[in-house]
Amino acid sequence: MKILMVCLGNICRSPLAEGIMKTKVPENFLVDSAGTISMHEGKHPDKRAVKTAANHSVDISKQKSRPITKADFEVFDKIYCMDINIYEDVISKSANEDQRRKVSLFLEALGDHKNAEVPDPYWGDMTDFEEVFQLIDRGCEAIKKHILD
């Protein structure tokens, strides 16, 4: 199974989702993250995201931001988007219906959060990053159960 987590700049939400998901699935799973913009390409995750993850024994410090590519639609089985704008942007980059079927909103996995979005903590403080971490952790747990059951 190959899973891609996508947010805007690939420095807050999707790196957290990648790191958390990697702790929940077997080692033979490929989990990666990307952004819909290339503004932060090659940069490590936001320091606040790194610190929040480290507080939960998740190391995301070595990740580097990258934009989503056309090849990602071929490589990955599932592409999870952090909010509706990201979802619409990713869908617009897909080439066909098969690729579009791989894309979903991340929190749809929770069932009771239909169309719910993971808020972007970038403009917030450490409390916002912690809340986003907890939300993403619950989403990753639901995705894991869905995939492995």
Q: Which residues are catalytic?
A: 7, 13, 120
CB-CB contact of 25 with 2 (8 Å): no
Q: Residue 98: phi, psi to the nearest 5?
A: -60, -45
Q: Nearest CA to 7 among 118, 78, 81, 76?
A: 81
Structural tokens at position 125 = 């403080």
CB-CB contact of 35 with 11 (8 Å): yes
